[in-house]
């Protein structure tokens, strides 16, 4: 097949799809597909991540800057780029990643003219919490154009049943495939743990944004003041929210128990996962939670909330899955901090087994491929992931 993946800028500040889209492209190329990835280049100071290389995978960028006055010119350039990539190709799939960008409207027009099928992954952008953040502007855009655009797709992809159900509640009645994101698997097994250490680590690694629930975490830590535990907070400061969290830490008298280390490299990321005793993502809303899968792949047990689709933590005994409230989080933290270090290591091993069996990128790429084959009529059997 010929697959054109479309996404926004591939810079680490922009969150999950920045990593998941290139990873999916790479694994689709390994399956023998010809894959092209078109992304937006916002220029300085934004820097594109290092991208995986494969003979079947080509990258294309469109320089757009941040000048909203250039939108008509940019949309025309985007349309021309898609035409250039798609020209003369058969069995063509356009896979759009995300919504709201004005450039996305060019995708449907070009698809119709070249006979391509279209799938959009919404990446949690229509989840209730996300829709309530900047509510007036988003609901206006939703009713003016976004809902109709999505209805013209051949199929949508959600990364969890919860997200699929929320798409249905918004009136999207076209087919939806439920396929989670994948995770890389570190090429090591076995935690390098000193179970007798006096300093134990609970790690948060994600964008520092109100949605991530860090203020609830600080509140829980204030109530418990756990001896021997330190919280390491890694990630990009979005919209100045880190200063809000740091002020809460200061007011709680927890400055010695919190360390804010800022953005980190991929190498450092895996080192932190591996060395942490616990990982926490106290989010109010996540369509998947890539960092949860990465932590589990690193044999680190996870604490997260029911705002994320991670019931597997309970089913596979590899962490805690609680309500996104201060009382629930505090109770969970108390139990986790009191756990025997060896029990945490066992939970970590269970997490690695879960990711290997259910969330590895090769397995996820195969599932997406099955959906593509059905879309273009090469398979008459409807994949079981489609509702």
Looking at residue 102, what is its pLDDT? Answer: 74
Q: Does some domain include residue 177? A: yes
User: Could you give the 3-state DSSP secondary structure of residue 278?
Assistant: strand
* pLDDT at 104 (0 to 100): 79
Residues 163 and 219 in one domain: no
Q: Would 315 be classed as within a structural domain?
A: yes
CATH number of the domain where residue 258 is located: 3.40.50.2000
The pair phi, psi for residue 314, each rounded to 5°, is -80, -45
User: What residues make up the domain containing 318?
Assistant: 200-358
- Does 99 share its domain with 111? yes
* pLDDT for res 70: 52
**219 and 71 share one domain:** no
Residues in contact with 246: Cβ distance below 8 Å, sequence separation at least 6, in sequence order: 258, 260
Pair (165, 207) in one structural domain: no
List per-block mean pLDDT (blocks of 10 residues) for the chain, which spans 387 residues.
Answer: 95 85 98 96 88 97 69 83 95 94 86 97 93 89 93 97 96 97 83 66 97 98 97 96 98 97 93 96 94 96 97 98 98 97 96 95 96 95 92
pLDDT score for 12: 87
Report how far Cα 250 is from the mean position of its chain's Cα atoms: 30
Distances (CA, A) of 313 to 50, 179, 183, 310: 31, 18, 16, 6
Q: Which two tokens stand for residue 172?
A: 């999207």
Query: Which residue pairs, CB below 8 angstroms and at least 24 apart, start in 294-297?
Result: 294/183, 294/184, 294/269, 294/270, 295/203, 295/205, 295/351, 296/183, 296/348, 296/351, 296/352, 296/354, 296/355, 297/183, 297/184, 297/185, 297/186, 297/273, 297/351, 297/352, 297/355, 297/356, 297/359
Does residue 381 lie in a domain region?
no
> For residue 249, which phi and psi values (nearest 5 degrees)?
-60, -45
Residues 365, 340 within the same domain: no
Same domain, 89 and 47: yes
- Tell me: do 129 and 267 sit in the same domain: no
Please state whether the peptide bond connecting residue 104 to the residue before it is cis, i.e. omega within 30 degrees of 0: no
Same domain, 66 and 153: yes
pLDDT of residue 192: 57
pLDDT of residue 349: 96
* CA–CA dist 62, 42 (Å, integer): 8
Residues 6+ apart with CB under 8 A from 196: none
Q: Do 145 and 214 sit in the same domain of this protein?
A: no
Position 386 in a domain = no
In a domain, 116, yes or no: yes
Tell whether 37 is covered by a domain.
yes
Give me the pLDDT at residue 194, please: 52
Q: Mark whether 251 and 177 lie in a shared domain.
A: no
Same-domain status, 30 and 147:
yes
CA 282 to chain CA mean position, Å:
15
- Provide the number of structural domains found in the chain: 2
State whether 168 and 21 are in the same domain.
yes
Is 188 part of a structural domain of the chain? no
Tell me, yes or no, whether 192 lies in a domain: no
């Amino acid at each position: 097949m010929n697959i054109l993946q479309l996404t926004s800028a591939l810079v680490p500040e922009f969150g999950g799809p920045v990593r998941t889209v290139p990873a999916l492209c790479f694994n689709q190329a390994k399956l023998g597909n010809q894959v092209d990835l078109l992304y937006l280049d916002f220029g300085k100071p934004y820097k594109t991540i290092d991208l995986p290389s494969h003979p079947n995978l080509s990258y294309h960028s469109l320089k757009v800057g941040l000048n909203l006055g250039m939108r008509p010119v940019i949309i025309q350039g985007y349309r021309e780029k898609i035409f250039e990539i798609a020209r003369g190709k058969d069995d063509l799939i356009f896979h759009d990643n995300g919504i709201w960008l004005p450039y996305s409207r060019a995708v449907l027009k070009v698809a119709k003219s070249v006979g391509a099928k279209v799938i959009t992954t919404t990446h949690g952008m229509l989840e209730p919490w996300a829709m309530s953040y900047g509510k007036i502007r988003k609901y206006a855009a939703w009713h003016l154009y976004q809902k109709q655009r999505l209805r013209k797709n051949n199929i949508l992809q959600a990364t969890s049943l919860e997200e699929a159900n929320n798409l249905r509640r918004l009136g999207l009645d076209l087919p939806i495939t439920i396929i989670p994101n994948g995770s890389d698997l570190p090429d090591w097994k076995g935690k390098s743990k000193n179970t007798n250490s006096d300093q134990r680590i609970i790690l948060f690694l994600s964008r520092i944004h109100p949605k991530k629930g860090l203020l609830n975490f600080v509140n829980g830590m204030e109530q418990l003041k756990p001896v021997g535990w330190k919280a390491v907070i890694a990630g990009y400061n979005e919209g100045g929210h880190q200063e809000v969290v740091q002020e809460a830490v200061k007011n709680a008298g927890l400055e010695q128990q919190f360390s804010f280390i800022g953005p980190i490299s991929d190498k450092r990321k895996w080192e932190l996962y591996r060395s942490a005793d616990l990982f926490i993502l106290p989010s109010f809303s996540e369509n998947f939670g890539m960092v949860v899968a990465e932590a589990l792949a690193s044999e680190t047990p996870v604490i997260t909330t029911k705002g994320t689709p991670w019931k597997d933590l309970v089913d596979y005994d590899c962490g805690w899955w609680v309500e996104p409230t201060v009382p629930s989080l505090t109770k969970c933290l108390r139990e986790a901090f009191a756990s025997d270090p060896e029990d945490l290591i066992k939970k970590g091993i269970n997490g690695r087994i879960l990711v290997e069996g259910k969330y590895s990128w090769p397995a996820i790429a195969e599932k997406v491929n099955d959906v593509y084959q059905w879309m273009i009529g090469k398979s008459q059997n409807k994949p079981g992931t489609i509702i």
